[in-house]
Chain A
Amino acid sequence: MIGFRLDARSGVPTYLQLVNQVKHALRLGLLEPGDRLPTAAEVVAALAINPNTVLKAYRELEREGLVAARPGTGTFVQRTLGRVGAADRARLHRQLVTWMRSANAAGLDREDVEALFEAARQDVAEDVA
């Protein structure tokens, strides 16, 4: 469960602060698909804000497909904002292990591996730029 907090001096509208805090929690894996968001009553009891503000934030999240409201039970997380899915992550991990084995076989030590890794990252960064 996520706990909201407000920064009155940020100048960011309250509903947007709530939206951003949910997204942040999704990125960090603090919220995962299937988790229930706090009800409007729970949020307003803690923050003393208009319930419609909470509902507006949840509607925004719903519009972005991040959460879904199930009548009578609450609002639940639909998908995560971690950019790499579990399958992608597993595939990349496998490729990296294969590469590391060949590097070992070629006699590269730890510092050599890190230097190569850094150089490759810069090459990719230049490609993107």
Chain B
Amino acid sequence: MSNAVETVGLGRRYGRHWALRECRLSIPEGRVVALVGPNGAGKTTLLNLVAGLIRPSAGSVLRFGEPVRDDPASLGRFAYLAQDSALYPGFRVADLLTFGRKLNPRWDDDLARDRLAQLGIPPRKRVRQLSGGQRAQCALVLASAKRPDLLLLDEPLASLDPLARHDVMALLMETVALHGTTVVLSSHIIADLVDTCDWLVAVNRGRIQVSGEIDELLAGHAVVSGPVDRRAHLPDRLPVVTESVNGRQVDLLTRATTDTFGPAWSVRPPSLDELVRGYLGAPDASALPGPVALAR
């Protein structure tokens, strides 16, 4: 199975500031990837690099094993839904479909029309008359009707109410189910991603911190909880990612361990949210394929 996205030593610098650096990433085809990280961590930079909208300052990007090229064949294989999902404000919805049809040889007009009809967005309406949610939906329809093999979405849910969020994700998941599309979805709301994503990429301070299959990551970590005054009795070699103290209880996010710690301690698998927050709170820790650096 080949990789939909592969980056080696990828970096992007703005002036003297590295927005992203030394980024090594492999995303297998057919995955639904959650790209998470604090604001300004480099999520958008990474997506822009993969989309070929900006050029790397260092390293390289491969899409489906091929370098990013400025030709119709390379451009036709992916679609990008940018953060503001900007569409031409003066265009009618029908014009957007013509736009998609004229500029994309793989365009699926029936799919686009069906979707818009389902969403109840009238083709005669102008983009500027649509609500923020409808605009995001239109942008997503435009992106999916392009029939991409790779769909990049930058904060597609940010401007949406919960109902619209559900609709957008449903539309996205149906596309994945029908066409095996690889999806990379950035968000800082983990709850939106729990049931939809199966691969996690966490970016923090311009570096890739975590990359892997969510089920494996969850199985490979544990939350160890117990009384804070017994913390010192835990073995030193316990691979702790991060720990937090709540009153008299201490919670440790650790890599999976076969050790047992006595009756005072409980061990349970982490939730995705705990895992993500644990790593983002400990920027020096990482969970990546290959050699791994640990916090301790």
Contact = CB atoms under 8 A, between A and B. Distances in A.
Interface of A: 6, 8, 14, 39-41, 44-54
Contacts of A54: 177
Given A49-B196, A50-B32, A50-B195, A44 B176 contact: yes
A56 to B, nearest CB: 9
Given A6-B195, A44-B173, A44-B174, 6 more contacts: A41-B178, A44-B170, A44-B176, A45-B170, A48-B172, A48-B196
B173 A51 contact: yes
B37 to A, nearest CB: 21
A41 B176 CA distance: 8
B250 interface: no
A48 B170 contact: yes
Central interface residue in A41, A46, A51, by most chain B CB within 10 Å: A51
A41 B177 contact: yes
Interface of B: 32, 166-167, 169-174, 176-178, 195-198
Contacts of B173: 44-45, 47-51
A40 to B, nearest CB: 5
Contact of B176 (A39, A46, A47, A50): A50
Contact of B166 (A14, A40, A48, A51): A48
Contacts of A44: 170, 173-174, 176-177
B177 A39 contact: yes
Given A44-B170, A45-B170, A51 B195 contact: no
A50 B169 CA distance: 9
B177 A40 contact: yes
Nearest to B183: A50
Contacts of A6: 195
Q: Dominant SS at the B interface?
A: helix
Contacts of A39: 177
Contacts of B170: 44-48
Contacts of B32: 50, 52
A106 to B, nearest CB: 62
Contacts of B177: 39-41, 44-45, 51, 54
A45 B196 contact: no
Contacts of B174: 41, 44-45
Contacts of B169: 48
A6 to B, nearest CB: 7
Given A6-B195, A14-B195, A51 B171 contact: no
A41 B144 CA distance: 15
Closest 9 CB pairs between A and B? A44-B173, A51-B177, A48-B169, A41-B177, A48-B170, A45-B174, A49-B195, A40-B177, A41-B178
26 contacts: A6-B195, A8-B195, A39-B177, A40-B177, A44-B170, A44-B173, A44-B174, A44-B177, A45-B171, A45-B173, A45-B174, A45-B177, A46-B170, A47-B170, A48-B166, A48-B167, A48-B170, A48-B172, A48-B196, A49-B173, A50-B32, A50-B173, A50-B195, A50-B198, A51-B173, A52-B198
Nearest to A45: B174
Contacts of B195: 6, 8, 14, 47-50, 53
Given A40-B177, A44-B176, A44-B177, A50 B171 contact: no
B100 to A, nearest CB: 21
A46 B196 CA distance: 13
A22 B246 CA distance: 41
Central interface residue in A45, A46, A53, by most chain B CB within 10 Å: A45
Contacts of A53: 195
Contacts of A49: 173, 195-196
A50 B176 CA distance: 8
A99 to B, nearest CB: 53
A53 B195 CA distance: 8
B178 A50 contact: no
Contacts of B178: 41
